[in-house]
Amino acid sequence: MPEIQAFRGIRYDLGHVGSLSDVIAPPYDVISPELQTALYKKHPCNVIRLILNRIEPGDDEVNNRYSRAKRFYQSWLAEGVLFREADPAVYVYYQEFEVAGRRYLRRGFMARVRLSQYGEGQVFPHEYTLRGPRMDQLMLMTMCKANMSQVFGMYPDPEQQTIAVLDEAVQTLTPVEAVDHLGVVHRMWAVTDPQLVTKLSAIVGPVPIFIADGHHRYETALEYREQLRDMGYLRPDHPAHYVLMHCVPMEDPGLIVLPTYRLFRTVPDLSASELASRFGNLFSIQNIAQGPKAAHDVWDLIEKSPDPTILAIFTRRDQQWSILELTPTGREKMDDVATDHTPEWRNLGVAVLHRLIIEHLLKVEPPVEADYVHTVDEVVHGLETGTYPMAVLVKPATVQDIRDVSLQGDRMPAKSTYFYPKLCSGLVINPLE
């Protein structure tokens, strides 16, 4: 049963930094070197110096990106750039944004959520993690003793009780507000009314939480907790029993999952007819358009199809777009080549793509080299460079897919989901001491 807790968060004093928009940043794992440089230049106290400090010439075991993050964090606290909330709060967090010409509002709240090992509690992952990023985050957490960024969790709330509770909690309060580099508006309210925790606990407590984003941050928090336990520092009331999490109802209209398109670099450079000969009777194949710019029309067809496994493949050799749909024989073959996964997993478009097509039929050993993009315009631009022998348009996993796969104890292929927009770092920090 998930347990949530209010906490005394650490926030920017706007009297010191001016505009909150100047000091926020996306999560570390979506920040390019160019954006990192831009954020460094934007403000001397931008949170980038904490969550993704630059590697500098001469860095060693004593002076490095982690020790610099610690020094910035401590000096900003000492100078009043950052302040600690006077009373424990739940941080109501709304994001307003646009996708395909339509405005959305995603509503949720940030709180401490009690950690539990996967399989022992009510927190479920849907992705695997890599040791390198976990160790990177563990070093930062160990040096600064804080959750600098939040995990993104979602939970079922079919009656949408959360929205009513949160709207009521903030109706008389003034938010802090920031606009990020993509134009997303972030609004946050610090709510210190203890009744809010009681009301939210009644909604969240009985249901599972699924990690939408931030698996590395969650697993790092688990490792940090065990590290303290091994050293004998983990008292029963230690804040390391919890992790900072942003919680959003799965039914929220603003919970948007964007597709992740593939631009493959290291696959055979085949024509559409050559692909068809390899695929045999596993797919029905329709050649429908030619040229990179046809990607928009092709995606419209894919998006409208009720089949979650439908794919569109662009072959550079003949500039051909082909739509692929699994035949009954293809579905049997998918079952055969993915016996290590559940039926729910085998019904994902990304699973069919990577397990059946890339690994089994094209004989490309993972990990396959690819660039991953989220707009059709990026696909068109990439294909016009002539760099990629193949591109694939594939449907994203849905929120329901995540729930179904996760509850079976399975995990999705990499890049199955892209929740948009990303959560903002720099709104609130969770101290772990």
Amino acid letter, residue 267: V
Match 């959003």 to its residue by tokens: 248
Which residue in 179, 110, 383 sits closest to 262, CA to CA? 383
Instruction: Check residue 367 and give its pLDDT.
Output: 85
Residue 78, Cβ density class (10 Å: 0-12 exposed, 13-18 middle, ≥19 buried): exposed
d(CA 76, CA 174): 25
* Half-sphere CA count of 75, side-chain side, radius 13 A: 10
Average pLDDT of the residues in 101-118: 96
Quick one: which H or E segment has residue 183? none
Residue 153, Cβ density class (10 Å: 0-12 exposed, 13-18 middle, ≥19 buried): buried
Which residue in 360, 347, 364 sits closest to 402, CA to CA? 347
d(CA 50, CA 144): 9
- pTM of the entire predicted model: 0.94
Confidence band of 119 (pLDDT split at 50, 70, 90)? confident
Say how far residue 134 (Cα) sits from the centre of its chain: 15
Helices (H), 232-294: 272-279
Instruction: Check residue 120 and give its pLDDT.
Output: 84
d(CA 9, CA 83): 8
* Half-sphere CA count of 428, side-chain side, radius 13 A: 32
Beta strands in 339-413 (DSSP E): 370-373, 390-394
Does position 277 have pLDDT exceeding 90, yes or no?
A: yes
Contact at 8 Å (CB) between 187 and 175?
Answer: yes
Query: For the chain, what is the mean pLDDT?
Result: 96
Which residue in 374, 329, 316 sits closest to 356, CA to CA? 329
Instruction: Check residue 1 and give its pLDDT.
Output: 65
Instruction: Check residue 366 and give its pLDDT.
Output: 85
Reported as a single tens digit per residue, the pLDDT across 216-248 is 999 999 999 999 999 999 999 999 999 999 999
Which residue in 186, 150, 185, 176 sits closest to 14, CA to CA? 176
Instruction: Check residue 121 and give its pLDDT.
Output: 77
